[in-house]
Homo-oligomer: A and B are copies of this chain.
Amino acid sequence: MMVAEPRPVAVELNAVLVALIGDEPQVLTLENGALLPSGPFESDHPTLQAGVRAWVEHQTHHPLGYVEQLYTFADRYRESTLGYRIVSISYLGLTRERAAAGQHELGWQSFYRYFPWEDWREGPPKILTRTVLPRLKSWVEAASDDAKRRRQQRVEGNFDVSSWNEELALQRYELLYEAGLVPEASRPRDAIVDPVPGEPMRYDHRRILATGIARLRAKIKYRPVVFELMPPDFTLGQLQRAVEALAGRLLHKQNFRRLVEQQWLVEETGAMTADTGGRPAKLYRFRREIVLERAVAGSKLPLARA
């Protein structure tokens, strides 16, 4: 046991910074979409979270509503010639405003540029059924016996078109990686002749992005995080489209509304908007109080008599 001596390890911070722009879920990137914003962990940051907040807000000039740690990766650059190891701590950040672009070649990119098979808002993506699934099938067939059965089960469990689970975005990417169907899986970069559609990123940034998307998709189900991405006032239709954008799935209108109402997540502002294309809609605002009121979480354990 005990505190380690300083080692040749560099610690870097990564951010998956998300915003909704025109019903599209977008992520802030650099270098024409090839990288997530990253920065060194400065020793003078009081906490990790503060570090992330500081440099993201500095770069984008917008306050970060919500920040949560995603994961720490260190199994990268294994064959680095630099002689030291990089530990990268990744964060998910949600922001309400469009960040000032231009600086440092910042730019917003849709989630689904990187993961086209994850957008089911217009039904099962053709890319999935026509390209991804057949490729995975070949990968399954290429193995034999036990390995084949295991591959089969993993594909079925994660890519089942008849019971699609949007939360498994990370696992699906990892499976494609293992199957050698994404460019990042090979080194040198060009070894994969014909990857599956979907823009790659450098290093493991696409994996980090997948981690963020999966986490966000899981979280919207039991925590009111969508509101971090919404303007102060919004219609229920906008709210629904926001959730649909993140989940990559269409929702049932009436049931969605009942859910939102009965959980007391929102309250009417009294105002209306006519920018709907149809009947004018009531405007609502998020009830911030409930975050404190209900620490919440759904118990699935069959408790004994109270």
Contact = CB atoms under 8 A, between A and B. Distances in A.
Contacts of A243: 301
Copies of this chain held together in the complex: 2
Contact of A250 (B85, B104, B299, B304): B304
A137 to B, nearest CB: 17
Contacts of A46: 75, 78
Contact of A69 (B72, B171, B218): B72
A168 to B, nearest CB: 5
20 contacts: A3-B38, A3-B82, A4-B12, A5-B10, A6-B8, A7-B10, A41-B74, A41-B85, A47-B74, A69-B71, A72-B72, A72-B89, A165-B297, A167-B297, A221-B299, A222-B300, A249-B303, A251-B304, A252-B303, A298-B300
Given A6-B8, A221-B300, A249-B304, 13 more contacts: A1-B35, A5-B10, A7-B41, A9-B11, A43-B85, A69-B71, A87-B87, A153-B293, A157-B292, A168-B295, A220-B301, A251-B304, A256-B302
